[in-house]
Amino acid sequence: MRNLDENTITDAVLARHANATDARLKDIVTSLVRHLHAFAREVNLTEAEWEAGIRFLTEVGHMTDARRQEFILLSDTLGLSMLVTAMAHRKPEGCTEATVFGPFFVDDAPAYDNGGDVANGAQGEPCFVSGVVRGSRGEPVAGARIEVWQADAAGFYDVQYSDVENHRARGVLHSLPDGRYHFRSIVAEPYPIPHDGPVGRMLDALGRHPWRPAHLHFMITAPGYERLVTHVFREGDRYLDSDAVFGVRSSLIAPWHHHASGTAPDGTVMATPFSTLEFDFVLNRSS
Ligand code: BEZ
Ligand code: FE
C-alpha cells in the first residue's frame, strides 16, 4: 500500500488489522484509530503540537511509579475514569451510585470492630460515622465487608507521607446482623489531587483547579451483591460543583453535623467538639 494521503491513511491502517484474532481488541483499536485520526483532522494538528503531545505523555510515564500513577490521574482529570465507572455501574433506582476508585487505596488496610477508631492517630476533628447496609429490596445485609479510606485534616492520605509506619484514616470492618455499621474517624476535608507533575501543569494551562470536595471513600462487598466503590461527599463543600475528577453525584452528598463537646452517639464522652455523619448504603444484587 503506497501513496497514502490524508484522506486514505485511516482505512489503510484499519485494513492492516484484518488478521487480528481477538475480535474485541480489533474493535477497540479500530475505533481508537478512527477517533484519533478524526481528532487530528478536526484540530488540524501541527507537527509541533504532535511533538508537544508526545513529550507530555512521556512525562506522564516518567512520573508514574509504584506510588504515583500519573496516567490514572490523567484519565481522572479528563473525565474518562468517571465515564467508564458510570457505564460499568448502571443500577436500578435506589441503589447507591458508584464513583471513581482513586489512587489512594491500599490492599492491607487494618481491620477494626464496629466502634473502632480508624483514624489511628490521623489529625482532624473526631467524626462518628454510622449507617446501615441494605440490599435493593430493603433487606439488611449482615457481614458486609466495609472498607473506608480518607485524607486527614491537611488533605493527605497516609500513603502520601514518607514517614508513615501504620496505616491511618483507613480500615476494614463488617456490618452487624441488622446491617448497621459504625466507626470513629476524622472529619474529611477538601484536598488537591497530586498536581506537581504534568497533569497539574495541564490543569493549570486549562485554567482548572486540582481540588476535590471533602469525601470518604467506601468499598463494600457482600456475597450475592455487586461490589460498590463509592464516596460520601460533605454537604456544603465549595468544590462539589467543580470536582477535579468529576466524581460527585447528588445522591452521595450528606451532612456532617457538628457538635459541642459532650456524649458522642456511641457513648464516648468527648472533651472536644466532634462531628457525626450517617449514611446508608444500598447494594445492587449481582446477577
Ligand atoms: C481520590 O479521591 O482519592 C482521588 C481520586 C482521583 C484522583 C486523585 C485522588
Ligand atoms: Fe479521595
Say if residue 183 is in the same domain as residue 60.
Answer: no
How much distance in Å is there from the Cα of 245 to the middle of ligand 2?
Answer: 10
CB 225 within 8 A of CB 286: yes
**Ligand 2 centroid vs 100 CA: distance in angstroms?**
9
Residue 81 CA to ligand 1 center (angstroms) comes to: 11
Structurally, the chain folds into a number of domains equal to 2
- Containing structural domain, residue 229: 74-283
Q: What is the CATH number of the domain that holds 174?
A: 2.60.130.10
In this structure, of 162-166, 175-179, 182-186, 274-278, the range with the lowest mean pLDDT score is 162-166
Domain co-membership, 107 together with 59: no
Dihedral, CA atoms, 161, 276, 177, 253, nearest 10 degrees? -80
Residue 119 beta carbon below 6 angstroms from any ligand 1 atom: no
Same domain, 26 and 137: no
Within the chain, where are the H helices?
Answer: 9-15, 23-43, 47-63, 70-77, 80-88, 198-205
- Which DSSP letter does residue 193 get? P
180 and 249 in a common domain: yes
| pLDDT tens-digit series, residues 261-282 | 999 999 999 999 999 999 999 9
Q: Please choose from 80, 193, 231 the residue to mutate so as to test ligand 1's pocket, defined by most ligand atoms within 8 A of CB.
A: 193
Q: What is the pLDDT of residue 164?
A: 66
Determine, yes or no, domain membership for 87: yes
* CA 23, 286, 72, 203 torsion-angle sign: positive
* Ligand 1 atom, smallest distance to 73 CA: 7
Within a domain: 4: no
Span 225-238, pLDDT tens digits: 999 999 999 999 99
Residues that place a CB less than 5 A from ion ligand 2: 102
Q: Give the model confidence (pLDDT) of 24-75 as tens digits.
A: 999 999 999 999 999 999 999 999 999 999 999 999 999 999 888 999 999 9
CA 233, CA 124: separation in Å to the nearest integer? Answer: 17
Instruction: Answer yes or no: do 42 and 131 share one domain.
Output: no
* d(CA 193, ligand 1 centre) in Å: 6
User: Is 2 domain-assigned?
Assistant: no
20: in domain: yes
For residue 148, give the nearest of 231, 209, 257, 204 by alpha carbon. Answer: 231
Distance CA 199, CA 62 (A): 12
> Is 262 contained in some domain?
yes
How far is ligand 2, taken at its centre, from the CA of residue 48, in Å? Answer: 36
Q: Are residues 61 and 161 in the same domain?
A: no
Domain boundary residue, one of 65, 84, 104: 65
**Test site for ligand 1: of 100, 149, 219, 252, most ligand atoms within 8 A of the Cβ:** 100
Ligand at minimal distance from the CA of 246 is 1
